[in-house]
């Protein structure tokens, strides 16, 4: 379930006067405290995504760990569907808090002054690129649904008793189709599945009121509308999109009169990291492995868990024996491994199946069935969360642009 946006409409909670002074007098110390809390909360949330350290323990320590394990639930396995749902939940919480830091009780005239006059447009441009990645990830999830259906066909065939040649042939056809799709070099079938997903995912066609919002004469808004309705071409690359989002992503060095350069950089880095992680795990438009890791400074506390997660994901990629991959999503890797083993069984099938071989196949089929259940239960909610991230970015971007437009009108106002 997507987290609730507790901040509501930010434009209803801010007031911009013509004298460019905020309605609430917030001291410099209070502002610093808000910024520190934002970074601390972000760090704490991402620390919860790190897998617990695997330390050698004595018998007494193991018993103590088991005793305390019931008090605090263990985090889901990294790169699993449950883990990605938690990751998106963390992002949505951080995004809401970022808007509060950026807008509420702030002097909006800072938006038109250095360095925010450069940093904010760059951040908003990154959100536009992230919208395309959300679309690609949604298409990729639909492709995983297709793989789950093929695996389910194999499960139903091999659950029959006794296992005869007809059942094995049916399972083998489904599994070969699944594995071929996973390791395909071309992008055609991803594009075809993406078109199907695009028809089902209506966010790009209908807003909350059932229609596309009216066009606004503003180049930055036009780019969003274009992103909502565009379809992917064969030349589109998720990794190149991530690289474009990382351009000019440089930590501020101080001398910021507004105090907001660091939180804008923090949220930009968080956005790029989340999109990078999704592209790494979910099959998108290319099968060339994870894109180059994001360069994050180590002197900031909130970057430590992100760097740790990047290293863990890099380790997972190194475990792959081939470059062509369907993504690092844990369930995809598990389904691929079991499918390959069952294909080997099908190719060497002889009737009747021995008891020992029958038990081995039954265990593998049961494992594949369990993976299918996880996919069936988790892909829908995950897709809804990606959709919620998409909507939140569109809404937040519009709110920030509204503030910038009002500030622009104030700055250009000529008194009578």
Q: Which of 60-74, 158-172, 202-216, 316-330 has the lowest mean pLDDT?
A: 202-216
Name the token pair of 242: 């991530």
The region of weakest confidence among 227-231, 232-236, 401-405 is 227-231
Distance CA(287)–CA(291), nearest Å, equals 10
User: What sections of 159-237 are H helices per DSSP?
Assistant: 165-182, 188-200, 219-229
**Angstrom distance (rounded) from CA 137 to CA 194:** 9
pLDDT (0 to 100) of residue 69: 45
User: Does residue 126 have a pLDDT over 50?
Assistant: yes
Indicate the pLDDT class of residue 221, thresholds 50, 70 and 90: very low
pLDDT level of residue 142 (50, 70, 90 thresholds): very high
Q: Is the predicted pLDDT of residue 218 greater than 50, yes or no?
A: no
330-385 pLDDT, tens digit each: 999 999 999 999 999 999 998 898 999 999 999 999 999 999 999 999 999 999 99
- Residue 402 three-state SS: helix
Structure confidence at residue 323 as a pLDDT band (50, 70, 90): low
* CA angle in degrees (0–180, nearest 5) for 271-382-142: 105
Instruction: Judge whether residue 409 has pLDDT over 80.
Output: no
Span 19-24, average pLDDT: 40
| Residue-level pLDDT at 54 | 63
Please, which pLDDT band fits residue 63 given cuts at 50, 70 and 90? low
Mean pLDDT of 300-315: 92
Per-domain residue ranges of the chain? 76-405
Burial of 357 (0-12, 13-18, 19+ CB in 10 A): middle
Work out the average pLDDT over 389-413: 85
What's residue 253's pLDDT? 82
pLDDT grade for 74, boundaries at 50, 70 and 90: confident
Most confidently predicted of 179-193, 202-216, 251-265, 285-299: 251-265
Distance CA 415, CA 332 (A): 63
- Tell me the CB-side half-sphere exposure of residue 78, using CA atoms within 13 A: 21
Residues 243 and 279 sit within 8 Å (Cβ to Cβ): no
User: Greater confidence, 245 or 290?
Assistant: 245
> Greater confidence, 21 or 405?
405
From residue 244, alpha-carbon distances to 78, 208, 241, 314 in Å are: 26, 30, 5, 21
pLDDT at 415: 53
Sequence-ordered list of residues with C-beta below 8 angstroms from that of 3, at least 6 positions apart, any chain: 89, 92, 93, 96
Q: How many CB atoms lie within 10 A of CB 62?
A: 11
Residue 257 has pLDDT above 50, yes or no: yes
**4 pLDDT higher than 60:** no
Mean pLDDT of the chain: 79
What is the average pLDDT across 190-210?
Answer: 39
**Rounded Cα gap, residues 25 and 318, in angstroms:** 53
- Inter-CA distances, 315 with 277, 308, 318, 320, Å: 13, 11, 5, 9
Residue with the bigger pLDDT between 11 and 28: it is 28
Distance from the first to the final alpha carbon of the chain: 53
User: In a 10 Å sphere around its CB, with 0-12 CB exposed, 13-18 middle and 19+ buried, how is residue 315 labelled?
Assistant: exposed
Residues 101, 264: Cα–Cα separation, whole Å: 10
pLDDT for the residue 404: 86
pLDDT at 311: 92
- Pair of tokens at residue 244: 């474009």
pTM: 0.81
pLDDT at 189 over 90: no
Q: What is the full DSSP assignment across 300-336?
A: STTHHHHHHHHHHHHHHHHT-SSS--S---HHHHHHH
Q: Would you say residue 178 has pLDDT above 80?
A: yes
CA 1 to chain centre: 15
Q: Show Cβ contacts of residue 222 under 8 Å, excluding neighbours closer than 6 positions.
A: 215, 216
Percent of the chain with pLDDT strictly greater than 90: 50
């Amino acid at each position: 379930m997507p987290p609730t946006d507790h901040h509501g409409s930010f434009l209803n909670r801010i007031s911009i006067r013509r004298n460019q002074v905020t309605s609430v007098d917030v001291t410099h110390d209070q502002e610093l405290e808000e910024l520190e809390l934002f970074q601390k909360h972000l760090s704490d949330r991402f620390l919860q995504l790190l897998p617990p350290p695997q330390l050698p323990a004595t018998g007494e320590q193991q018993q103590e760990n088991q005793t305390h394990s019931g008090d605090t639930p263990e985090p889901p396995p990294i790169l699993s569907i449950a883990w990605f749902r938690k990751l998106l939940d963390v992002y949505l919480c951080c995004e809401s808090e970022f808007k509060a830091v950026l807008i509420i009780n702030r002097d909006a005239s800072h938006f038109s002054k250095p360095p925010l006059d450069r940093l904010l447009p760059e951040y908003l441009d990154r959100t536009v690129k992230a919208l395309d990645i959300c679309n690609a990830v949604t298409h990729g999830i639909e492709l995983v649904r297709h793989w789950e259906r093929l695996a389910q066909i194999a499960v139903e065939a091999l659950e029959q008793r006794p296992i005869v040649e007809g059942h094995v042939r049916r399972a083998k056809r489904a599994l070969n189709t699944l594995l071929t799709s996973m390791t395909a070099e071309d992008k055609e079938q991803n594009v075809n599945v993406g078109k199907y997903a695009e028809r089902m995912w209506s966010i790009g066609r209908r807003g909350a009121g059932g229609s596309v919002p009216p066009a606004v004469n503003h180049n930055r808004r036009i780019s969003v509308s274009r992103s909502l309705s565009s379809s992917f071409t064969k030349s589109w690359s998720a990794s190149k999109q991530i690289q474009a989002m990382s351009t000019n992503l440089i930590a501020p060095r101080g001398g910021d009169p507004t105090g907001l350069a660091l939180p804008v950089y923090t949220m930009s880095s968080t956005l790029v990291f989340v999109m990078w992680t999704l592209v790494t795990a979910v099959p998108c438009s290319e099968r060339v492995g994870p894109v180059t890791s994001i360069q994050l400074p180590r002197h900031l506390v909130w970057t430590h868990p992100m760097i740790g997660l990047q290293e863990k994901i890099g380790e997972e990629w190194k475990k792959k024996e081939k470059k062509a991959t369907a993504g690092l999503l844990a369930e995809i890797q598990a389904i691929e491994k079991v499918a390959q083993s069952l294909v080997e069984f099908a190719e060497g099938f002889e009737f009747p199946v021995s008891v020992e071989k029958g038990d081995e196949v039954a265990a593998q089929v049961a494992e594949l069935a369990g993976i299918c259940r996880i996919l069936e239960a988790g892909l829908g909610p995950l897709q809804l969360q990606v959709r919620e991230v998409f909507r939140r970015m569109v809404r937040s971007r519009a709110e920030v642009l509204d503030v910038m437009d009002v500030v622009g009108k104030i700055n250009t106002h000529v008194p009578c």
